[in-house]
Structure 1
Amino acid sequence: MKKRNKVLLTSVLAGTLMLTSVAPAGFAHDAFEGGINKETVPFDHEALEMLGDPEENGDKNLKFLHEAAAEQIKEIDGIQNNTADVYAHKGFAYLGTHTANGANGGVRIFDLKDPENPKEIGQIAHDVPHTWQEKVIVKTVNTPEFKGDLAVVSLQQTSRNNLNRPDSIGGALLYDVSDPYNPERLGFYELDRRITGTHELYLTTQGNKALMLVSNPYADFYTSGEERDFQIIDVSDPANPEKLWEFDPRTLAEVDESFNGYHWDAPDGHTRPVFNHSVITDNNGHYAYVSMWDLGTVIFDIRDPENAEYLGRTEFADDQKGAAHSAALARGGNILIETREIANPHGEGYESAYGYTRIFDIKDKTNPVLLSEFTTDLTYDFSDPVRTFAKTVHDPKVRGNTLYLSYYSGGVISVDITDPSNPQEIGRYTPDQANIWGVFVDRNYVLASDMGQGLKVLLKNNSQSNNSNNQRIKN
């Protein structure tokens, strides 16, 4: 492996980011439309065929993690959807769905009062035709216009701007889930139909204001700059979402007016894809962490959400594919976890590796400092030459000094980050036929969404469930 010189991008704010005017071509992701979309814009593996073979020989009871429940989502009208991300709030789990069998699976709500027997009790966000609903965030909100539990759901078209599907549109749906048994749709933040939609999103509060942050991949490209990839939306009145601010790194480039590309001719000699995949904030809603693929995790000060300020970003060595996919925070927001989703482990001029995790010190948010890189036995396993997502890391979540990673066929991997400069794997849950998309930590259990098998509820060994018998889970 050649020396890892840092890729410099001090020119972002100066507007000298050089981009090539070529049409999108497939890099890490491919869009879905009854298979693989011929648009071939980098997107998020909607084609299940590209996930590779699931793990055949799993182990449900490895160190520190124990499967307490496994519940497939219900068939609706004879259709079995598959799951995407998972979130939990006040004893209820919310599972987004992906694109299998025509999409429109909506968000499934599970009652987790007895986490060993989760009960599916409802479905939301399934009524916009030809869309899929990957990401859902739920928070308690208290604004002059709304008091209660608010859910925001990402909405993406299965076929962007399709003339034969005039009712299909992307964006974000907003629901009152104060009573999860009786959810109520409040609003819809609609995007231009030329945009596929909102891929991932986040919800935060600032005092009596509620903010939704959305990631709209290639919005700038598809609308010739009319819309941007990263947007901050005021949802204090969920029935009337209002855009406050937006950003796209391409708008800072000094390029010809006819420019319509998204590639970045990086200083390391690589042509790198740049688009907004995901976003989170800290607990106070002061800073946003935006996963902009090969531009890294870009950090913004959003304390004044109408005038957000760029602070800094993570950088990649010149032999690393970027693919900043998702982020999580630890140590009160001073440690940043960055996962990189890389399905194709090879490439000229790059190291041979599937996607792995990087950990940064961000006490100085203008200058993230790389502390460590966490790899697993999957990272360099090239025994299966098929292009697949099965061996790459996906999403991170943190509870205390433990990092939980969803890892597709690798299941859920738990990592001790007490010393973030020296992360150590401490547990792994890998069920048979594993295809773990999302992970979430809530109370004394860990939730995992398996694309083919539904909701998994994991308890740490020696932790107690909340069922009526209050029995201890034994090894």
Structure 2
Amino acid sequence: MGKRNVLLSVLLAGGLAVSSIPINVLAHDELGGVLIEKGTGAGYNDINAPVIEGSKNLSHLHEAAAPEMKIVREDGKANSFGDVYAYKGFAYLGTHTKNGGNGGVRVFDLKDPANPKEVTVFGNNDIPGTWQEKVIVKTVHTPDFQGDLAVVSVQQTSRSNPVSKGGFLLYDVTNPYEPKKLGFYEVTKKTNGTHELYLTTQGDKAIVLAANPYADYYSHGAEKDFQIVDVSNPSKPKKVWEFDPRTVKGVPADFDGYNWKSPDGKTRPVFNHSTMVDGKYAYVSMWDLGTVIFDISSPENPVYLGRTEFGSKQQGSAHSSALAKGGNVLVETREVYAPVKDGFEQAYGYTRIFDVKDKTNPKLLSEFKTELYDNIENGTTFANTVHDPKVQGNTLYLSHYAGGVRAVDITDPSNPVEIGKYVPEQSNIWGVFLDRNYILASDINSGLKVLQKNVGSPGATENILKDRLFN
């Protein structure tokens, strides 16, 4: 089968009307024409998909624990899984859309990381017809709240459901065994809700940076994709600022909230997929507009600094980001899941690394590609693209769907080198997170994984998974 035709079975012919978008197109470029949901396409469980070695011990990473995911729903149905986060010895595992969503956030005690214990679930029965993919937890000290605050993304499985709504939930998880709901921030019903988000503090303030894909497009500019919300009083979250891409040089005033007629002559998709904060700087993944950098010293009046750019032959798809080298190096992952597109290179998404010492002028240092990036003959979708990045010291960890978790040495960010990988059987790795001396991963189908560097391998640390003490 020719490369240009391998995705005809999943691509729409011609334009796509908003009213024709199916409800199962979630968490990515839903207006771009690929009618498939993460975790459901060829390449995960298809015997004709590329064969990737499956093992619990691969090149200096091994699986220390993979707890059985018990069914926690009252209807006896199982959910699939989203991202993973860890804080103070507990793992927070988001849930995806299988069986209608409403799986909430599942909490695991990791005092013995080799034997995680699930202790509770929260956010699962708050808003019907939604799913809870992303959770961030931070210690917050404001006049209205002191403790550990969790923010949870809420997305509708169908905008036509009259009782569902999107945005994010706020919970007190100071005692992770007994989470307490504090509040909810709602975005326009016209979009699915908040996809990814980030919680940060500034003195006695707590703020959330919310990515609400297509809010600008669906609301005709009434609301924007990137919003900053003051959650200092978690029971009364308040929007304090939102980003209008039309204010960026090169984006015309008639930008419709999605289709950008870029300077390279192509019409590119623009929407906010993810947000991340490091100190006073925010890094916002705006798909083909790149990673947009703001100074948010004043969250009510952020200052646009600069953005990453793409070559004319590259699909943008800026998905998420991480920082290295004290904030001077930016890692940008690109979730290109449809590798055949007229006028572009034929490749799945790969990672780009930038020098951002000058935030107004990011400079490309290198690109990291796995062996999967140009494996397009079988027509898989998400299976071969990179997803999320995390950095610990000089090591970059990437979640890679069918490619598992990849460990990359970025001591020299101009020359990234893969040094390890974890690729379980039926790999479908969504998220990766680093907590002290171990690595957490989340598999869409099978849930939480606890990984460790192999003892005695080059660069490995001591085995202190057991008997570790957490603050």
User: Shared fold (TM-score greater than 0.5)?
Assistant: yes
Answering whether residue 463 of structure 2 is matched by residue 464 of structure 1, we say yes
RMSD: 2.3
Give yes or no for contact 1:31–1:47 (8 Å, CA) kept in 2.
no
Cα 1:241–1:217 change in 2 (3 A) is same
Residue of structure 1 in register with 2:11 after alignment: none
Match of 2:40 among 49, 66, 87: 49
Give the corresponding residue for 1:6: none
What residue is the counterpart of 2:219 in the other structure? 223
What are the equivalent positions in structure 2 for 1:22-421 lying under 5 Å apart? Answer: 33=23, 40-42=30-32, 46-50=37-41, 52-54=43-45, 57-75=53-71, 76-77=73-74, 78-127=76-125, 128-160=127-159, 162=160, 165-250=161-246, 255=253, 260=256, 262-282=258-278, 284=279, 286-384=280-378, 386-421=379-414
Distance 1:218 1:442 in 2: 33
Give the aligned partner of residue 3 of structure 2.
none
Structure 2 residue matching 1:72: 3-state secondary structure: coil
Once the 2 structures are TM-superposed, how far is the Cα of residue 152 of structure 1 from its aligned partner?
0.3
User: How far apart are the structure 2 equivalents of 1:469 and 1:210?
Assistant: 30
Contact residue 44 and residue 427 of structure 2 kept, 8 A: no
Q: What is the alpha-carbon distance in structure 1 between the residues aligned to residue 63 and residue 380 of structure 2? A: 30
Aligned counterparts of 1:445 and 1:337: Cα–Cα separation in 2 = 21
The amino acid that maps onto 1:33 is I
Matched residue, 1:9:
none
Shift of 1:31: 6.8
Q: Are 2:429 and 2:442, in contact at CA under 8 Å, matched by a contact in 1?
A: yes
Q: 1:269 to 1:25 in 2, by over 3 A?
A: farther
Q: What is the number of equivalent residue pairs in this alignment?
A: 437
Q: CA deviation at 1:25?
A: 6.9
- Secondary structure at the residue paired with 1:48? coil
Structure 1 CA distance, aligned partners of 2:332 and 2:197? 16
d(CA) in 2 for partners of 1:114, 1:36 = 35
For each residue in 1:168-188, what CA deviation from the matched residue of structure 2 results, as whole angstroms up to 9, or x when unmatched?
000000001010000101110
What is the rounded CA distance, in whole Å, between the counterparts of 2:468 and 2:129 in structure 1?
44
Q: Could you tell me how far 1:36 is from its partner in structure 2?
A: 8.4
Query: How far is 1:224 from its partner?
Result: 1.6
Q: Is the 8 A contact 1:24 1:261 kept in 2?
A: no
Post-superposition CA distance 1:301-347 (Å, at most 9, x none): 10011000110000000010100000000111110000000112222
Shift of 1:381: 1.7
> Partner letter of residue 147 of structure 1?
Q
1:425 to 418, 422, 445: 418
Residues 425, 40 of structure 1: alpha-carbon distance in 2 compared, 3 angstrom cutoff: closer
Residue 138 of structure 1 contacts residue 151 of structure 1 at CA under 8 Å; is this kept in 2? yes
Structure 1 residues 36 and 369 mapped into 2: Cα distance closer, same or farther (>3 Å)?
Answer: closer
Alpha-carbon distance in 1 for matches of 2:309, 2:207: 28
- Which residue does 1:16 correspond to in 2? none
Paired residues of 1:435 and 1:450 also in contact (CA < 8 A): yes
Kept in 2, the 8 Å contact 1:290–1:298? The answer is yes
CA distance in 2: counterparts of 1:32 and 1:417, whole angstroms: 40
Distance across 1 between alignment mates of 2:320 and 2:465 = 31
Q: 1:171–1:261: structure 2 CA closer, same or farther, 3 Å change rule? A: closer
CA distance in 1, matches of 2:22, 2:104: 17
8 Å Cα contact 1:23/1:261 also seen in 2: no
Counterpart CA distance in 2 for 1:31 and 1:105 is 24
Contact 2:87–2:137, Cα closer than 8 Å, also in 1: yes
Counterpart of 2:4? none
- % identical aligned pairs: 62
Measure the CA separation in 2 of the matches of 1:47 and 1:374: 23
Amino acid at match of 1:441: L
Letter in 1 for 2:446: Q
Structure 2: tracts of 5 or more residues without a match: 1-14, 46-50, 456-461
After TM superposition, give the deviation of residue 53 of structure 1 in Å.
2.6
Label 1:469 to 1:40 Cα distance change in 2 as closer, same or farther (>3 A).
Answer: closer
TM-score scaled to structure 2, two decimals? 0.88
Per the alignment, residue 14 of structure 1 pairs with none
Deviates more, 1:76-85 or 1:319-328: 76-85
Gap change, CA 1:436 and 1:86, over 3 Å in 2 = same
CA–CA distance in structure 2, aligned partners of residues 150 and 434 of structure 1: 32
Distance 1:417 1:47 in 2: 29
- How many Å separate the matches in 2 of 1:141 and 1:457? 27
In 1: Cα distance, 2:391 partner to 2:35 partner: 23
Rounded to whole Å, the distance in 1 between the matches of 2:363 and 2:112 is 42
SS in 1 for 2:41: helix
SS of aligned partner of 2:56: coil
> Which secondary structure does the structure 1 equivalent of 2:331 belong to?
strand
CA spacing shift, 1:183–1:347, aligned 2, 3 Å: same
Q: In the alignment, residue 428 of structure 2 is paired with which amino acid?
A: N
Deviation at 1:387, TM superposition (A): 3.8
Q: Within 1, Cα distance between the matches of 2:195 and 2:35?
A: 8
- Which secondary structure state, in structure 1, belongs to the residue aligned with residue 133 of structure 2? coil
Q: 1:159 to 1:433 in 2, by over 3 A?
A: same
Pair 229,95 (structure 1): closer, same or farther in 2 beyond 3 Å? same
Letter in 1 for 2:371: D
Partner of 1:10: none
Contact 1:338 1:358 in 2 (8 A): yes
The answer as to whether partners of 1:138 and 1:149 remain within 8 angstroms in 2 is yes
CA spacing shift, 1:278–1:322, aligned 2, 3 Å: same
Q: Which runs of 5+ in 1 are unaligned?
A: 1-21, 471-475
Contact 2:39 2:382 (8 Å CA) reproduced: no
Q: Report if aligned partners of 1:122, 1:181 keep a CA contact under 8 Å in 2.
A: yes
